[in-house]
């Protein structure tokens, strides 16, 4: 059974290494849309809060989402068509 005694769990090995280096091997190619759905185990068990985006405060998070996205421009094609249609139907009603 000697062979098994050398078996070391990947977490233990990884914990001592730099997380960035660990990640490099698996993240070198850009993810394609048909990627696997599995949420893989992390190569390290724990990391410092300071290294995460959470530590940089809510300021950074605010740029991630658009809450006011309304479009007031009615000069586009779709609006022009709708205007035209409304006008035409309105005119036909008056006939």
Residues making contact with another protein (CB under 8 A): 1, 3-5, 7, 9, 19-20, 23, 26-27, 30-35, 37-42, 44-47, 49, 51-54, 61, 63-72, 74, 76, 78-79, 81-86, 88-90, 92, 95
Q: How far is the CB of 71 from another protein (least distance, A)?
A: 5
C-alpha pair distances (Å), 64 with each of 28, 53, 55, 61, 91: 24, 12, 16, 5, 46
Q: How far apart are CA 70 and CA 62, in angstroms?
A: 18
Q: How far is the CB of 39 from another protein (least distance, A)?
A: 5
């Amino acid at each position: 059974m000697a062979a098994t005694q050398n078996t070391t769990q990947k977490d233990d090995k990884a914990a001592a290494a730099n997380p960035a280096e660990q990640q490099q091997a698996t993240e070198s190619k850009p993810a394609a849309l048909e990627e696997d759905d599995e949420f893989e185990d992390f190569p390290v068990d724990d990391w410092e809060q300071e290294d995460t985006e959470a530590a940089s405060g809510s300021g950074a998070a605010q740029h991630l989402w658009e809450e006011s996205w309304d479009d007031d421009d009615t000069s586009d094609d779709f609006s022009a068509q709708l205007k035209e249609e409304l006008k035409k139907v309105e005119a036909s009603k008056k006939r």
